Structure 1
Amino acid sequence: MSAQAPSAVILIRAERFTPNPATAADNAFQGDAPAGQSDDDTAAHALAEMDALADALRAAGVRVHVFADEDHTRPDSVFPNNWLSTHAGGMVAVYPMYASNRRHERRADVLEMLKSSYRVQTIVDYSGLEPDGIFLEGTGAMVLDHVSRVAYTARSYRADTHVLERFCTDFGYEPMAFDAVDSAGVPVYHTNVIACIGTDVALIALEMIPDEDRRAQVRERLSVNGRTVVELTEDQIREFAGNAVELCGRTPEGRRRYVMTMSARAHRSLRPDQVAAIEESCEIVSVDIPTIELAGGSVRCMIAGVHLDRRPSAEQELTEAVEAINEDAPGTLDGSDLIRADEGADA
């Protein structure tokens, strides 16, 4: 399995979704609900879009963990990748958030699920940096190459390079920071709206990196191991073409399949040659989410990938325990003996 493409994801089913006014100042991708549309209608449309994404991922054979959120004070909770990331080796990071009304999106129940269902060794919590005005909004602020161990980061209020260096030291990544702006000179608020890194393909708007030397360095670093670099235009970025994520699913027959997940709007913006380049290594799975995209994020922002090893089921643990005992004393136990012993202890 590729280290880049997780086979499980976390989604938040935000029942009171609405574009967040607290993030509009520096998010040039954010929009308003259609005139005359009530908050209830906006929330209902968004819920249908979240459910459609979950269904599409399950159909692709991706394991989906969905958490409900009924809190009307968390308008952006549908975007969990900003406060949480997971990493091979049992590492989990929790991040400091720029908008104060986003900071209580962090959820203990999500972390508890990870600890109970996956092998979690360490949780590193950077959220204590918020009172100092220092922020790093997870895999929104960083686009991580888990294979080459590089953290690509567009500098912004939401991506402090001091925290970036601290994260890279703690988690074993090389920082690759750069400036990225649109044609009006407005800084890109999150790196993951302009770049997506898959196992064998990367999508990125190199034209939005004004420093030519840094642009060339980013391109070279992305392609050094043979990865195809698909260059996106600023117009395509405004259609969220960069806000995609590669996942590892399964066919109905159990074979591994890699899927590039994006919004239908993003998919429509791609040229045929770009689609062909992506489909050389993975299938495109797209879902229409126009309501959620009003908040300035798209499919990538909705997905927190799980890069952790699963814990064995109770049955697997039982089998492993029996095998371990019988290695030392062959024939000592079978599974039924251990079950009866456990039942007696519980009683």
Structure 2
Amino acid sequence: MVAPILKDTIPVVQNVSHTTNAVVMVPPIDFKFNVETSADNEFQQRLALPEQEIRKKALNEFYNMVSILQSHGVEVTVMDYSGDAYETPDAVFPNNWFSTSPDGDVFLFPMACENRRHEVRPACLKRNLEQQGFSVTDITPVSDLKHPNAFLESTGVMILDHAQGTIYAALSERCDKELLQKYVDLAGFHELIYFETKMASGASVYHTNVMMAVGEGFAVICDEIIEEFERRRVLATLKKTKEVISITEEQMGQFCGNILQLKNDKNEHLIAMSVSAYNAFTLEQKQTLRKHGQLIPIDVSTIETIGGGSVRCMLAENFLPKNV
């Protein structure tokens, strides 16, 4: 449904670029099957490999992805993410604990699983970004101390249409309605569209960004898992400004919804996705996507199989201003 928001009290996002040519990535130093997140992440699968071999494969995939993005003109900040007393098996998915804005704001978000909360390292993030020449003005937690069991896992659960000032979100244990509204107010978005989902298993999708992606002129969405009335609302809103590509639940399982439109240093559009997603899109769907950017398929098969997240989950967009 569309949340009621008093538009005259909320600053409307204007002249904001939807895409960025800078991202933050975190190496999968402690990567392994995360039992805690597997409770509601049906995309995770175990592999019969020793943990040491899994981490070696994951690190190879990670640094190959960094290299591919850099070769296409994307600025990548790799966080100096040294291990500590707590294992962080899902640290490779940093887009779940922070987001950035062109005003220099960094927002921090509460995550549902205890071992994922140890990923939140704002001082380390700030240091690494400033070393790359980015300006961090404020760091703002988006949380509710009165409701410690309310979670909002950043751009994992929120699909941000920066140009239109709209947020799309599938409600779940990891996506609290009240915190959604709080972020809308803090970040200056003026339309919030949230909805319920139901997969073939009967469960809700754990993160919106595995079922949905929004670019400047296109949207990919697994709309068949949205209840019919809400589905019509979501599609009608998207179609006002986007070319909509509907994917099946099977394609969603191959991470076709987990893609991200970026820019390169020449202001050309790219669309990053996994090889699995690329192979699962139909020829017609790929032709449509190519109208909106060069397709960049990247092999992250170990990470997406065991971690239950893919290329988009590995990319935290960096909209921060550069120091002059």
Deviations 1:304-338 (A, max 9, x none): 000122112xxxxxxxxxxxxxxxxxxxxxxxxxx
Question: Secondary structure in 2 aligned to 1:69?
Answer: coil
Higher helix share: 1
2:303 counterpart of 1:292: yes
Residue 129 to residue 237, structure 1, CA distance change in 2 (3 Å): farther
Pairwise CA RMSD of aligned residues?
A: 1.6
| Matching residue of 2:237 | 221
Match of 1:267 among 273, 278, 297: 278
CA contact under 8 A between 1:193 and 1:237: conserved in structure 2? yes
Contact 1:96/1:129 (CA < 8 Å) preserved in 2? no
5+ residue gaps, structure 1, are 313-347
Q: What TM-score do you get using the length of structure 1 for normalisation?
A: 0.84
Alignment partners' CA distance in 2, 1:135 and 1:163? 7
User: Is it true that 1:101 corresponds to 2:118 in the alignment?
Assistant: no
Tell me the distance in 2 between the aligned counterparts of 1:186 and 1:221.
25
169 and 23 in structure 1: CA distance in 2 versus 1, 3 angstrom threshold: same
Q: Which residue of 2 aligns with 1:336?
A: none
**Which amino acid is the alignment partner of residue 181 of structure 2?**
E
Any idea what the Cα deviations from partners look like across 1:28-61, whole Å, max 9, x if unmatched?
A: 111102x2x1100000000000011101100110
CA contact (8 A) 2:144 2:150 kept: no
Tell me the SS of whatever aligns to 2:261.
strand
Q: 1:242 aligns with which of 242, 257, 272?
A: 257
User: One-letter code of the match for 1:42?
Assistant: I
**TM-score under structure 2 length normalisation:** 0.90
Letter in 2 for 1:234: E
Residue of 76, 101, 126 corresponding to 1:111: 126
Is residue 2:178 matched to residue 1:155?
no
Task: Summarize the Cα distance change of 1:123–1:70 in structure 2 as closer, same or farther, 3 Å threshold.
Answer: closer
Query: 1 CA distance for matches of 2:124 and 2:144?
Result: 19
Instruction: Report the Cα offset of residue 275 of structure 1.
Output: 0.2
Q: Tell me which of 136, 140, 156 is aligned to 1:120.
A: 136
Cα distance in 2 for partners of 1:150, 1:119 equals 25
Q: Which residue is equivalent to 2:51?
A: 39
* Pair 1:9-2:23 in alignment: yes
Partners of 1:216 and 1:87 lie apart in 2 by: 30
Q: CA deviation at 1:131?
A: 6.6
Cα deviation, residue 274, structure 1? 0.3
Cα distance in 1 for partners of 2:221, 2:293 equals 17
User: Are positions 1:69 and 2:81 aligned together?
Assistant: yes
Partner of 2:8: none
Shift of 1:128: 6.0
Match of 1:50 among 55, 59, 62: 62
CA distance in 1, matches of 2:146, 2:286: 40
Cα contact 1:14–1:68 (8 A) shared by 2:
no
2:203 to 171, 183, 186: 186
Deviations 1:176-214 (CA, angstroms, capped at 9, x unpaired)? 11011212221000000000111111111111102x221
Work out the CA distance in 1 between the residues paired with 2:24 and 2:161. Answer: 19
Match of 2:268 in 1: 257
Counterpart of 2:105? 91
- Does the Cα contact within 8 Å between 1:16 and 1:70 map onto a contact in 2? no
Change (3 A) 1:183 1:127: same
Q: Taking structure 1 as reference, are residues 91 and 43 closer, same or farther at Cα in structure 2, changes over 3 Å only?
A: same
Q: Give the superposition deviation at 1:112.
A: 2.9
From the CA coordinates, give the structure whose radius of gyration is larger. 1
Identity over aligned pairs, percent = 34
In 2, Cα distance between equivalents of 1:16 and 1:208: 33
